[in-house]
Structure 1
């Protein structure tokens, strides 16, 4: 699947210094709140064995400002040779504050390729049950502060991109040259780690972290791709997984080629929903009074930019950059207002500088670590079609019904046809006695379609699924839906879950968070000249977390 390029604009929707209804955004320089809450049953308290982790103050000022402790853990590069070359996995910790300690909770923010060191900060103040756990963030192998760091071409995601649609040999040759150069650079710069980046290896790293912590079991919270990592861990180490929260679950039947095609169709539906929302608020955005009118305007601008790209001080903007800039609307309803304003600014005022700034912020230009790791994991997890005729046929057929994302997604993943590593057999996702999994999903999630949650629920007899019918956002827990938060709180505090229903569906339902109302936002802004908001560091925390969980 194509990992999200966009930097989340979620922060623009936050007011009055609060992240969610359930917890405040930590201010820079202050440790996150660790509220105490209903005590877990005394018999549920966990005792650790001897830990070999050397915790110390974090050298990164941002991590240190939130009171995190940091460490590195040595793991085998190749688990088939456990005494061979070692690599380093960076970990972080916020310690429990409750008397009823329930063990470590490992956190994966998704990607693959997302950094997880700030994950504990994101969860720490979200609900009372978090006080029972040591929250453990980690940068998966090759990511962020882990070593070696995987990178191929930091300038790959730049401006002046070819037309995503290979109408002629010109576009086809341009993209083939571009992706071939990227995979060649990957092979030259990264060495042996590229053939040891799989989800299987990352799951074994998680168990190495567990052992280093001296923990008989771990708890786990995974968003997006993190749910697939959780599935693989559960399949390899079922007795070591105590409790797990999966938000926006990957379908294990579709990793990874088929998952991209599923995602393309789902994104198109969500973009059309956004176009309809913009039409409903035409008095605010002035882009058209019907979904069709707004949609036609959006694609007309794309074609105009393909025909005549706009040169800006930052770089050249064409139709491909236009599509990537607005991708977030398919991920998060929280981005709809800010992206609607950007759409209006360009459509009505030719605000090319604003568009270029938004694209540069979205593209990840100058740092390809996330993308390189994304490919390193997905290209080696399982086999990919090597025939371009297969890719071309599937992409054109999908594009005919879902034009928004299909070809951009194709080229994002095409390096897997010629990745400088080897395909592995995926770990069979099977239930071997996992104690419990609580799953959360919005039924119109585009990045990880709802069918994935239904499939994983079916495979694990002790899994329960909480659905949000009609919701189009991806990986939003905790804090955006009080009903969902209450379910997670109960589960993490005491292990309580909804009763499993007999049909192949959700075990509990929460009403999806309402779509944004830009007129209500305007009224609020009119009452307050300059509302206070989260600190710059808190906003960066939020942005990093949402960048990481975008593309599974």
Structure 2
């Protein structure tokens, strides 16, 4: 393993940029289009990188991408730079420098510049990915097909969207694999003048960090990977695994609502609450709430309960008002907050461009149907929703490549062997905890911190003292928890929310720019991912 890792710089050289990266000092200036979240100094800059590299360049050797970056400087003398990615894929990331800085302890703020960026094709980075801004116009077709005719219509819709992406997405859609963004990260590191970088990745950002550390092991100083995408599961398999985890998380939410029947009146057992939810879902198929929230829009709202327990009181109140009082106000308001709309086109295009080309997808629709029906039978909460969200990959125009696997196998890449910290909550519904154990086994120098009973997708620097102290000790002093059986450190989760509790700081990341990201709530008072 050591000799293979030592050979990786040669591998990186073989994928050298087709055009020269602009490595002049970044010109930081006050941001014009994003604002600080507090009194921090927030600066922005742009870095030009090749659109295509190495053998992938082809006729587009001279095409470039302008990456939009942000930075919050250290409050004292900067000793390190922390590069942050919130996941996605398809999530704009620039605001995460400000969000991360705000959550840090003063000791961390004093010595860390925090940098984040909009990945290629996404947000303020240009050229921007695009497909069809009308795709999410309500009321959309029900994701659960009633029969063959409805299924065929949904499949036609997915194929048409894939074609719209091919027609309007531009050449960048062919160059948005995770490896492309990993190479961009190293260009950012070089432009910052850093020999080695510290990295904090949430959700899909854990896979991005895993790939980066495999490609550039000598460029990593610290690696924090939180809410892990299982590196053993390519995206098609990963989405079916996620659908089962989302269903388990919904069951936890239904149980909580049942314990507070006096507040919500949706049933006194988890089964009764689930029945109330699915009956509402069926009714919205013929009577959309407020004329805009049908079954599919409802799913886009309630999926947030699998990302954070902090959303439970708000979502439960909205369901209660609709079921018991026929009042759609709260539900339509949540759809406006969490649901997809025309502004989601760029994020969804970015999501598909990564997922559809990172690994191979079945081309035979019978395989999709059979696998989804198997999942739906046991886990109906989001099985079909997840399938249709990814269905454009079945006819995606850009070629897919092999999954960037990590390990000792003949088709795998040697794993990063340096120190790393893996963090995960046991009740995370977006990325099942098994993925954290998988990655921990793959990274021989890693320590695993588990938040037992945690219900949040994205744990580090969110207020659990046990977790945050472990993260700080690692970043500041390189100290990892002592090795233990299974997890190296187990931290108890905080108490579950109280009914109808006001949400002043909802969980990071609740908006559907990608199931593997934290961009849904961006952790401000917008309310919640």
The verdict on a shared fold, with TM-score over 0.5 as the criterion, is yes
Deviation per CA, 1:474-514: give whole Å up to 9, x if none: 1132123111111111111111111123x4x2111000122
Q: Is the 8 A contact 1:110 1:548 kept in 2?
A: no
- 1:150 is the counterpart of 2:109: no
Indicate which of 31, 41, 50 corresponds to 1:58. Answer: 31
The match for 1:514 is 495
Deviation per CA, 1:387-435: give whole Å up to 9, x if none: 1000000000110000011000000001110112110122232455542
Q: Is the 8 A contact 1:239 1:434 kept in 2?
A: no
- 1:497 is the counterpart of 2:469: no
Structure 2 gaps, min length 5: 1-22, 408-413, 517-529
TM-score, normalised with respect to structure 1: 0.83
The match for 1:86 is 64
Q: CA deviation at 1:317?
A: 2.9
Mapping for residues 259-274 of structure 1, pairs under 5 Å: 259-274=238-253
**Structure 2 CA distance for aligned equivalents of residues 483 and 543 of structure 1:** 18
Q: Which stretch shifts more, 336-345 or 443-452?
A: 443-452
SS at 1:275 equivalent: helix
Mapping for residues 112-261 of structure 1, pairs under 5 Å: 112-125=89-102, 126-127=104-105, 128-261=107-240
The match for 1:329 is 305
Mapping for residues 331-480 of structure 1, pairs under 5 Å: 331-367=307-343, 368-430=345-407, 431-480=414-463
Q: CA deviation at 1:86?
A: 1.2
Q: Is the 8 A contact 2:284 2:294 kept in 1?
A: yes
**Structure 2 CA distance for aligned equivalents of residues 102 and 506 of structure 1:** 30
SS at 1:438 equivalent: strand
Indicate which of 27, 43, 51 corresponds to 1:69. Answer: 43
Q: Is the 8 A contact 1:111 1:224 kept in 2?
A: yes
Deviation per CA, 1:41-62: give whole Å up to 9, x if none: xxxxxxxxx9621112212152
Q: CA deviation at 1:546?
A: 4.3
How big is the alpha-carbon RMSD for the aligned residues of Structure 1 and Structure 2? 2.1
Q: Is the 8 A contact 2:26 2:191 kept in 1?
A: yes
Q: Which has the higher contact order (CA 8 A, sep 6+)?
A: 1
TM-score, normalised with respect to structure 2: 0.86
SS at 2:342 equivalent: coil
The match for 1:317 is 293
**Structure 1 CA distance for aligned equivalents of residues 351 and 325 of structure 2:** 37
Deviation per CA, 1:260-312: give whole Å up to 9, x if none: 11111111111111111111111111111111111111111112222x22363
**Structure 2 CA distance for aligned equivalents of residues 549 and 66 of structure 1:** 27
Deviation per CA, 1:199-248: give whole Å up to 9, x if none: 00000000011111111111000100000000000110011011011110
